[in-house]
Structure formats: C-alpha cells, structure tokens
Amino acid sequence: MPVFTDGFENNFAPWTGIVADPVSGTPSIVSSPVHHGVKAMSNWLAAVNYAYKTLDADYPHLFVRLYLQVNGLQDAVGRYFKVITLRDASGAVRAQVGLAASGSGVYQWELWVEGVLMQYTDAVVPNHWYCIEIEFDSTTGIHRLYRDGELIITNTTASTAAIREVDVGATEINYWYASAYFDCVAVSETYNGPEVGPTLVTYSSSPITVPATIDGQIVPSGGKIEVPLNSTITVIVPQEVTA
Amino acid sequence: MVKYRFDRWEDGSTSTTRTLIVTGDLTITAYYIPVTHQVGYNSTPIAVPATIDGQTVQPGQAITVEDGQQITVTVPESVEV
C-alpha cells in the first residue's frame, strides 16, 4: 500500500515541512537535474537541511525509496551525509541511510538501525541517479538497503519501533561540500523498487499519414505515446485507406 | 482520391495487428502502397494495338494502373490488314 509519494512537482506542498540551516543549508526546488517530471529537491551538503513528512499512522514495517544524485564526492576519511532518516512518533531516530567516504575514492552506503551501522562499499560516481530504498521492519528485525533494485545491506538489529516520520535530504552531515538532488520519493508498506517507465512509443506511416490505434488510443502518424516499461501493447492499422 | 492498402511494418511483418513488448523507447512505422488494378486490352476480330496513356499496348496485354487513376485509351480509327 502506498503511504506517500512525491516528486517535488508541487514544490514542498505535499510535505509536512522543511528543516533549514540559517546560514548554509536550505532545501530548494530545481528544474535540473530531475529524475522524472520537471522538478527535484536540491540540498547543499554542508549543513543539515531536509524535507520531512509526518505519516498518517505508525508503521513498524515501511519501505522508503528515493532517487539520489550528488554533483561532487569527498575523498577525506570520515566525511559523510545521510539522506533518509526514519523517526518514531516521539521524534527519536530509528534508522538512517547515508553515504560515507573512507579515503582514496572508496565510498560506503550505510544503513543505521537503532544506532547500529552496516556498510556496503560501492564505486559511487557523481552526477548519476541512484535508486536507494530502505526497508525498516521491526516485526522481523530484518532491515534492508537496496541500491538500484539490488539488496546491498541487511541489518538485523532488533527494534520495537514504528515509524511515524520520514526525513529526506541532508538529514545529517559531516561537511561534504557538494549538492545532492532528490526525486521520486515513494513511501510504502511494500517494496517500491526502481521506477519503471514510462517509455516512449513513436508511430509513423509512409508514404501517407494513417492513424494507428495503440491499446485503444488513436495515435496520428508522427505521434508519440508513453507506456509502462516492459508492458505489452497492441498496435492496429487499417487494411485500406483512401488518401 | 487514391486507395492505399497496408503493405508491411518496418520489421517486415505483414499483419495489420501487431503485439509488442516495450523494453525501451521504440519507433514503429506502417508502410502503405497504392491499390492497383490490371487493365487488359483486346481487339477483335483483328489484332490492333491501342495506346493507353501514351503507352502502346498489344491485344492480349494488360497494364497496371493505380486505383482511382483516370486513363485514356486510343485506338486507330481505321487499319489495313
């Protein structure tokens, strides 16, 4: 069941609020880069600044997916930033997802649960969208982190918490000095996975213009329609026309 | 007005209904060709060639014309055999 989805197309309106640093960090809306749609959130990674959503209930089992891109990497050991923080109804931090540098161009995705850290070393590159999804599950005590649909971390720290608030952005920081971009946030009780599609089907006819019917929708010659990736479509054209 | 009939898709398939699994952006193209007719010519009791749209056609021959195309057929007023 979807709990909350947003791609910042209506700026921060769907969110409960934002947290901004008075000097060097305020979440902002940008038109580039975007993963999908025409807007994304940008956060300068030098101070805590993020958008937060208070959920309609407490969720002991919750999935939070987002797309993340950074325009710069830090080599210095100990530099990190966290991009997802999950809090219970009291505001206590229960789980976090972040990226850390350990020097010489080595980076780790991090999954913190109840303060216990598990890491996964990855060849992270700047200016690339990563699909990051955390699964927090206090009913089983098995918490997972997925990168681009691949399970990369399992954290089996016990927790009795239920999640009430989702924070997205620079939720914790140790001076990264780059911009991070966030898009296509999906909060659900089931695995979201990477976005699929839509993809573009372009139809044309030659040497005359004849419309086609694609899944019941009339498409003129030269027209385009969006369909879900990996979907099956049926295209029908007339046997005879007069032109 | 000219009548056209469906000939093929860009992949060579020839059914007007096509089912595809979309695994990425794609472009599909339907190709049409004009509908044509055969016009046969004969003369009797003697073999007299005709001119159809400037083309000489012998008795027993046929030419192909597009649907809706207007043609002009000319035969000689008199012949000697």
Contact A233 B16 (CB under 8 A): no
Q: Please determine, for residue B79, whether its predicted confidence score (pLDDT) is greater than 80.
A: yes
Do A154 and A221 reside in the same domain of the chain? Answer: no
Mean pLDDT for the stretch of residues A13-24: 89
- Tell me how close the Cα of B63 comes to any Cα of chain A, in angstroms: 22
So what's the pLDDT on residue A192? 93
For chain A, percent of residues with pLDDT exceeding 90? 74
d(CA B5, CA B81): 44
Residue-number span of the structural domain to which A213 is assigned: 199-236
Question: Do residues A194 and A77 touch, judged by C-beta distance below 8 A?
Answer: no
The pLDDT score that the predictor gives to residue A112 is 97
Residue B17 lies in a domain: yes
pLDDT of residue B24 exceeding 80, the answer is no
A170 with A226, same domain: the answer is: no
For residue A241, tell me if it sits in a domain: no
| CA dihedral for A121, A122, A126, A132, sign (positive or negative) | negative
- What value does the mean pLDDT take over residues B6-29? 92
Residue A102 predicted with pLDDT over 90: no
CA distance A156 to A126: 30
- Which structural domain range is residue B26 located in? 4-74
Q: Quick check: is B69 in a domain? A: yes
* Residue A53, pLDDT above cutoff 80: yes
* CB atoms B18 and A236 under 8 Å: yes
User: Within 13 Å and on the Cβ side, how many CA atoms surround A32?
Assistant: 0
Whether residue B36 has pLDDT greater than 90: yes
**Residue from the list A232, A235, A239 with its beta carbon closest to the beta carbon of B28:** A235
Pairing of strands B17-21, B36-40: unpaired
Per-residue pLDDT at B59 exceeds 80 = yes
- What total of structural domains would you count in chain A? 2
Asked whether residue A21 falls in the same domain as residue A102, the answer is yes
Amino acid B12: pLDDT: 94
pLDDT at A233 over 80: yes
Same domain, A132 and A35: yes
Q: Is the pLDDT of residue A241 over 90?
A: yes
Q: Residue A28: inside a domain, yes or no?
A: yes
pLDDT of res. B77? 95
Within-domain flag for B38: yes
Residues 9-38 of B with CB under 8 A from A: 16-32, 35
ipTM of the complex: 0.81
Domain shared by A59 and A153, yes or no: yes
* Confidence at residue A197, expressed as pLDDT on a 0 to 100 scale: 67
Is the pLDDT higher at A29 or at A226? A29
Does residue B80 form part of some domain?
no
Q: Is residue A117 part of a domain?
A: yes
Residue range A53-72: mean pLDDT, rounded: 96
Select the more confidently predicted residue: A188 or A24: A188
Return the SS3 of A177. Answer: coil
Quick one: A34 and A151 in the same domain? Answer: yes
Establish if A243 belongs to a structural domain: no
Is there a domain that residue A230 lies in?
yes
The answer to whether residues A137 and A63 belong to one domain is yes
Q: Is A230 on the interface with B (CB under 8 A)?
A: yes
Q: Residue B39: what pLDDT? A: 95
Q: Could you tell me the CA-to-CA distances from B28 to A198, A205, A225, A227, A236 in Å, in that order?
A: 17, 8, 12, 14, 11
Q: What is the CATH number of the domain that holds A150?
A: 2.60.120.200
Tens digits of residue pLDDT in A111-135: 999 999 999 999 899 999 999 999 9
In a domain, B25, yes or no: yes
pLDDT for the residue numbered A225: 85
**Chain B within 8 Å of A242 (Cβ-Cβ)?**
yes
Measured in angstroms, the CA of B66 and the nearest CA of chain A are apart by 12
Reported as a single tens digit per residue, the pLDDT across A163-222 is 999 999 999 999 888 999 999 999 999 999 998 767 788 999 999 999 999 988 899 999
| pTM exceeds 0.80, yes or no | no
d(CA A195, nearest CA chain B) in Å: 13
Residue bearing tokens 């694609």 = A214
Q: Tell me, yes or no, whether A128 lies in a domain.
A: yes
* B79 falls within a domain: no
Looking at the domain assignment, is residue B40 inside a domain?
yes
pLDDT at A61 over 70: yes
In a domain, A71, yes or no: yes
pLDDT in tens, A64-83: 999 999 998 888 888 999 99
Residue A60 has pLDDT above 70, yes or no: yes
Q: What is the pLDDT of residue A35?
A: 87
